[in-house]
């Protein structure tokens, strides 16, 4: 089985990415992906795109040969009430929305606070993916998180960048194994994302797939293998 989509990628527009959209598209095609997701950071990220950037996606063509492009946002969870840095009017313009916690935008709280923030963010009807809940800087109850994701029909992201030994996030490997454990236990689907900030890593899930093999995590619970699963992630109709 081949991975068909990478829904977590950034370009220079995110302020700390190093490739253009064109470079990411070319890289995705070279990797054999069928769908590329552009998920720029929300405007609260230092150096992130202005909110106007998100309202101009309409000018971007969506088909490049056999590669389809989806344009979304990795919104910042900004408080323990699950508040995002993108308002509803702009969320409604997105093909899909990932919500994530970043130290630049939300101070890590207690286990209860971080868990509450993530669960309330998942209750936002536009949020269909919870980004990288795998960072020990944000102590969190991963069992509660996975149960809530199941209830809200939100996918848990397994983030390949968290497995990079140079990652800013801490404890990625053990935390990702725990996420896989609970997702398997409660049959909650996961979405693999590279979180690429440069074209060379677009579609490269090497470290994640090693863990998938090691744990014998069921492929049926990994959304990336079937384009029909896009309907679970996207806020727009997907044929």
How far is residue 2's CA from residue 98's CA, in Å, rounded to a whole number? 23
Intra-chain end-to-end CA distance of the chain, in Å: 21
Using Cβ positions, the residue closest to Zn ion within the complex turns out to be 100
Supply the minimum distance, in Å, between the C-beta of residue 118 and Zn ion.
13
Contact between 100 and Zn ion per CB under 5 A: yes
Supply the minimum distance, in Å, between the C-beta of residue 122 and Zn ion.
15
Contact between 194 and Zn ion per CB under 5 A: no
Smaller CB separation from Zn ion, 198 or 227:
198
How far is residue 94's CA from residue 54's CA, in Å, rounded to a whole number? 8
Task: Evaluate whether 188 touches 153 at the Cβ level (below 8 Å).
Answer: no
DSSP 50: P
Supply the minimum distance, in Å, between the C-beta of residue 161 and Zn ion.
8
Supply the minimum distance, in Å, between the C-beta of residue 187 and Zn ion.
25
Looking at 18-26, 48-56, 94-102, 223-231, which segment touches Zn ion (CB under 5 A)?
94-102
Contact between 76 and Zn ion per CB under 5 A: no
Count of residues that interact with Zn ion, criterion CB under 5 A? 2
Task: Give, in degrees to the nearest 5, the angle at Cα 31 between 133 and 225.
Answer: 55
Q: Which of 177, 169, 231 is nearest to 195 (CA)?
A: 169
How far is residue 17's CA from residue 15's CA, in Å, rounded to a whole number? 6
Supply the minimum distance, in Å, between the C-beta of residue 137 and Zn ion.
12
Site for Zn ion in 114-153 (CB under 5 A): 131
Smaller CB separation from Zn ion, 9 or 100:
100
Smaller CB separation from Zn ion, 55 or 104:
104
Q: Which of 65, 5, 75 is nearest to 238 (CA)?
A: 5
- Residues written for the chain: 239
Binding site for Zn ion (CB under 5 A): 100, 131
């Amino acid at each position: 089985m081949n991975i068909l989509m990478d829904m977590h990628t950034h370009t220079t527009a995110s302020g700390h990415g190093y490739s253009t959209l064109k470079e990411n598209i070319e890289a995705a095609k070279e990797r054999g992906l069928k769908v590329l997701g552009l998920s720029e950071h929300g405007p609260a990220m230092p150096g992130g795109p202005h909110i106007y950037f998100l309202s101009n996606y309409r000018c971007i063509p969506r088909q490049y040969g056999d590669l389809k492009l989806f344009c979304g946002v990795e919104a910042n969870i900004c408080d323990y009430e699950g508040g995002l840095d993108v308002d509803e009017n702009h969320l409604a313009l997105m093909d899909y929305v990932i919500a994530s916690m970043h130290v630049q935008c939300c101070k890590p709280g207690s286990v209860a606070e971080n868990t509450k923030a993530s669960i309330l963010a998942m209750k936002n009807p536009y949020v269909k993916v919870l980004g990288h809940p795998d960072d020990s800087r944000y102590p969190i109850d991963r069992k509660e998180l996975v149960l809530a994701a199941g209830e809200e029909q939100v996918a848990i992201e397994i983030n390949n960048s968290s497995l990079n030994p140079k990652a800013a996030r801490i404890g990625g490997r053990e935390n990702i194994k725990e996420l896989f454990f609970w997702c398997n236990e409660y049959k909650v689907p996961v979405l693999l994302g590279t979180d690429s900030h440069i074209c060379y890593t677009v579609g490269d899930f090497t470290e994640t797939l090693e863990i998938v093999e090691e744990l014998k995590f069921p492929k049926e619970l990994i959304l990336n293998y079937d384009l029909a699963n896009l309907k679970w992630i996207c806020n727009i109709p997907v044929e």
